């Protein structure tokens, strides 16, 4: 599928041989794209370019977990930042054309994720670049959904010793974990979780999270931990994992009955210990900017904010 508009050509790349063309705009993901194509995270038909007189004017790309027929997220939307007045128009035209070719008719487009500097609003060039991309997405019907913190633990950062308030054991029964995940949905501050609860029950939302994310990690399941109180009652859990790119704290939570006692610090420390024991170069995590208690727990534990993530979404059809 190719679109020609005046001197503008919009099309997907033909294959890995056109990655040099696609990568003419800088982006942290550029060096990963070849491997993503090999691993099935991306397909040439999911990487689109807008060319003006043969020069790259805008680009967009989608990513998926291997084996998925359709993409899970749109994580690249770039345009020429030279200040040309038509650049946002071109990016919006590219995006609307590419979405028609990538997103199945009648389905909700995947989220648009953009990684930005923590102080992106205070740096004029970064702010303009981010707002231009958000504006291009908005012209196709996208809206801001949530802004998230990207966090990182680095070797050398002290990990608190166990306090003895909780004991930890591996997850041996997925049903027990799923029941706790269901409980954690009560009062969640996570925007994606709250959105799920507008369409499905807490059990369905937890099962979706488990099936579509946690169960797909190929890292050892025996890293997963349940936190028990001295009497044996479960208080929370943590899911250390590797997402194929980095070691991560994929999920952690405290069940509602035991919130307010600071157990999140003990649980985060245990998840960090599990991954640090693997001699990893770093550990990454993310949480909503508005989830102040979770963000505070990470920062108190010595994790640093390395960036923000902007999530935009399109309304569901119908």
pLDDT digits (tens, 9 = 90+) for 41-97: 999 999 999 999 889 999 999 999 888 899 999 999 999 988 777 899 999 999 999
Could you report the per-residue pLDDT of 92-131, keeping only the tens digit for each? 999 999 999 999 999 999 999 999 999 999 999 899 999 9
Of 102, 125, 140, which residue sits at a domain end? 140
Q: Is 96 inside any structural domain?
A: yes
Classify residue 139 by its DSSP letter: T
pLDDT higher than threshold 60 for residue 318: no
Q: Is 315 inside any structural domain?
A: no
Residue 251 · residue 179 · CB < 8 Å = no
Confidence class for position 169, pLDDT limits 50, 70, 90: very high
Q: Quick one: what percent of the chain has pLDDT higher than 90?
A: 90
Residues 19 and 55 in one domain: yes
The residue among 271, 313, 274 whose CA lies nearest residue 151 is 271
Residue for token pair 């807490």? 202
Q: Is 211 inside any structural domain?
A: yes
Residues 131 and 238 in one domain: no
Residues 54 and 116 in one domain: yes
pLDDT at 176: 97
SS (H, E, C) 76-104: EEEECCCCCCCHHHHHHHHHHHHHHHHCC
pTM metric for this prediction: 0.90
Residues 79 and 15 in one domain: yes
pLDDT at 2: 62
Residues 65 and 135 in one domain: yes
Confidence class for position 316, pLDDT limits 50, 70, 90: confident
Phi, psi dihedral angles at 285 (to 5 degrees): -160, 170
pLDDT at 125: 85
- Rounded to 5 degrees, what angle do the CA atoms 102, 217, 104 make? 15
Residues 109 and 186 in one domain: no
Residues 183 and 265 in one domain: yes
Q: Is 216 inside any structural domain?
A: yes
Instruction: Write out the two tokens for 143.
Output: 């809206």
Confidence class for position 255, pLDDT limits 50, 70, 90: very high
Look up the CATH number of the domain holding residue 264: 3.40.630.30
238-259 mean pLDDT: 96
Residues 13 and 87 in one domain: yes
Confidence class for position 198, pLDDT limits 50, 70, 90: very high
pLDDT at 85: 75
Q: Is 149 inside any structural domain?
A: no
pLDDT higher than threshold 80 for residue 317: no
Structural domain tally of the chain? 2
Query: Which range of residues forms the domain containing residue 209?
Result: 167-307
pLDDT at 295: 95
The residue among 23, 27, 20, 18 whose CA lies nearest residue 45 is 18
Residues 184 and 128 in one domain: no
Residues 91 and 177 in one domain: no
Of 93, 121, 140, which residue sits at a domain end? 140
Residues 97 and 212 in one domain: no
| Side-chain-side CA neighbours of residue 56 (13 Å) | 22
Average pLDDT over the chain reads 94
- Rounded to 5 degrees, what angle do the CA atoms 246, 236, 262 make? 95
Residues 36 and 125 in one domain: yes
């Amino acid at each position: 599928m190719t679109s020609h508009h005046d001197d503008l050509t919009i099309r997907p790349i033909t294959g890995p041989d056109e990655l040099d063309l696609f990568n003419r705009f800088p982006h942290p993901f550029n060096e990963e794209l070849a491997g993503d194509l090999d691993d099935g995270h991306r397909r040439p038909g999911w990487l689109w370019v807008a060319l003006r007189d043969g020069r790259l004017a805008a680009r967009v790309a989608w990513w998926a977990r291997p084996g998925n027929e359709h993409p899970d997220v749109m994580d690249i939307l770039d345009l020429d930042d030279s200040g040309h007045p038509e650049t946002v128009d071109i990016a919006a035209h590219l995006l609307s054309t590419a979405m028609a070719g990538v997103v199945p008719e009648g389905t909700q487009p995947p989220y648009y994720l953009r990684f930005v500097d923590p102080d992106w609003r205070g740096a004029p060039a970064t702010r303009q670049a981010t707002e231009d991309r958000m504006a291009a997405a908005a012209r196709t019907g996208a809206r801001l959904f949530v802004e998230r913190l990207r966090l990182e633990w680095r070797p050398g950062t002290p990990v608190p010793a166990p306090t003895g308030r909780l004991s930890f054991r591996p997850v041996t029964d997925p049903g027990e974990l799923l029941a706790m995940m269901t409980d954690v949905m009560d009062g969640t501050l996570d925007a994606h979780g709250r959105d799920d609860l507008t369409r499905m029950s807490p059990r369905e939302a937890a099962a979706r999270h488990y099936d579509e994310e946690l169960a797909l990690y190929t890292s050892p399941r025996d890293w997963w931990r349940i936190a028990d109180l001295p009497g044996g009652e479960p208080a929370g859990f943590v899911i250390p994992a590797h997402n194929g790119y980095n070691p991560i704290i994929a999920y952690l939570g405290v069940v509602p009955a035991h919130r307010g006692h600071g157990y999140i610090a003990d649980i985060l420390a245990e998840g960090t210990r599990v991954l640090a024991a693997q001699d990893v170069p770093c550990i990454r995590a993310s949480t909503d900017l508005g989830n102040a208690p979770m963000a505070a727990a990470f920062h108190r534990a010595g994790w640093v904010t390395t960036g923000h993530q902007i999530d935009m979404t399109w309304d569901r059809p119908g």
